[in-house]
């Protein structure tokens, strides 16, 4: 049995992960950690003083995740990171720390298999189009923008093509931000935040006379759970560093 702790256990994702870990015969829920709530450890440090943890799953918030991850990797706890908002520099530092300490670390901006396939299809399509933009739509409680999924999608597309947006006329933005945020390979990302959405993303490709849209909608948080289980089993079995669930779906 894999001994799993969930950090952010009282949050929307954390609750779903706790239930999944409890329901799965290969995992045991050994600790719930959250800064809010009574039935939880307040910190990771408190949890490891009280119980043995093989893998910690973190769904907290952008401002906590870097310190949480460093703490785990420095204390021999393998970590699965769902929390978004890590910068490229922080991801690289966690990668170095994971290899230096030989402690597994998997970061996935999106654990939904459908969303990961959307990113993989977008990477494949990128080679064939000069114009591409991403629109991501999330619930209005999301703290970071653009979404980690949108950034990762742009990164994967940039591996297939160095620069997009060729052939556009000179543009003037009369309302700041109207053309979105400029990301890898000049891919514009547009973030929508409103009640009604959970997590959706559309990748648009255009060329003369045609538009290709690749869209994914998450309608229930259960869509992430197969990916989270896959990640827990992976970091438990292998002590490597992985950025993106697509690396496990190949």
The catalytically annotated residue of 15, 70, 142, 165 is 142
Please, what is the minimum distance in Å from the beta carbon of residue 250 to ligand NAD?
18
Q: Is 70 designated active site?
A: no
- Which one of residues 84, 123, 153, 201 is an interface residue with ligand NAD (CB under 6 A)? 84
Query: Smallest distance from the beta carbon of 61 to ligand NAD, in angstroms?
Result: 4
Q: Is 64 in the site for ligand NAD (CB under 6 A)?
A: yes
Annotate the chain with three-state secondary structure: CEEEEEECCCCHHHHHHHHHHHHCCCEEEEEEECCCCCCCECCHHHHHHHCCCCEEEECCCHHHHHHHHHHHHHCCCEEEECCCCCCHHHHHHHHHHHHHHCCCEEECCCCCHHHHHHHHHHHHHHCCCCEEEEEEEECCCCCCCCCHHHHHHHHHHHHHCCCCCCCCCCCCCCCCCCCCEECHHHCEEEEEECCCCCEEEEEEEEECCEEEEEEEEECCHHHHHHHHHHHHHHHHHCCCEEECHHHHCC
Query: Does residue 161 carry a catalytic annotation?
Result: no
Determine if 19 is a binding residue for ligand NAD (CB under 6 A). Answer: no
Q: Out of 3, 32, 138, 190, which one is annotated catalytic? A: 138
Residue nearest to ligand NAD (CB): 11
103 binds ligand NAD (CB under 6 A): no
Residue of the chain from 10, 19, 75, 90 that contacts ligand NAD (CB under 6 A) = 10
Stretch that binds ligand NAD, among 82-90, 92-100, 189-197, 236-244 (CB under 6 A): 82-90
Single out the residue of 20, 48, 109, 137 in contact with ligand NAD (rule: CB under 6 A).
Answer: 109
- Candidates 19, 61, 75, 239: give the one binding ligand NAD (CB under 6 A): 61
Is 224 a binding residue for ligand NAD by CB under 6 A? The answer is yes
């Amino acid at each position: 049995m894999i001994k799993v702790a969930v950090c952010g256990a009282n949050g929307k994702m954390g609750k779903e992960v706790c239930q999944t870990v409890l329901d799965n015969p290969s995992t045991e829920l050994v600790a719930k950690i959250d800064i809010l709530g009574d039935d939880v450890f307040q910190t990771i440090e408190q949890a490891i003083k009280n119980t043995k943890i093989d893998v910690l799953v973190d769904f907290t918030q952008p401002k906590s995740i870097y310190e949480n991850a460093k703490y785990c990797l420095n204390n021999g706890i393998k970590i699965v990171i769902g929390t978004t908002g890590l910068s490229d520099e922080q991801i690289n530092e966690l990668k170095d720390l994971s290899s230096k300490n030989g402690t597994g670390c998997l970061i996935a901006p999106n654990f939904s298999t459908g969303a990961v396939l959307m990113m993989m299809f977008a990477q494949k399509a990128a080679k064939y189009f000069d114009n591409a933009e991403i629109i991501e739509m999330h619930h209005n409680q999301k703290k970071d923008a653009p979404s980690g999924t949108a950034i990762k999608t742009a990164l994967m597309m940039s591996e297939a093509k160095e620069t997009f947006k060729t052939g556009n006329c000179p543009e003037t933005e009369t309302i700041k931000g109207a053309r979105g945020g400029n990301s890898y390979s000049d891919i514009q990302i547009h973030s929508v935040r409103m009640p009604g959405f959970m997590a959706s993303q559309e990748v648009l490709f255009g060329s003369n006379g045609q538009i290709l849209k690749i869209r994914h909608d998450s309608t229930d948080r259960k869509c992430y759970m197969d990916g989270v289980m896959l990640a827990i089993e992976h970091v438990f079995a292998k002590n490597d560093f992985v950025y993106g669930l697509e690396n496990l779906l190949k």
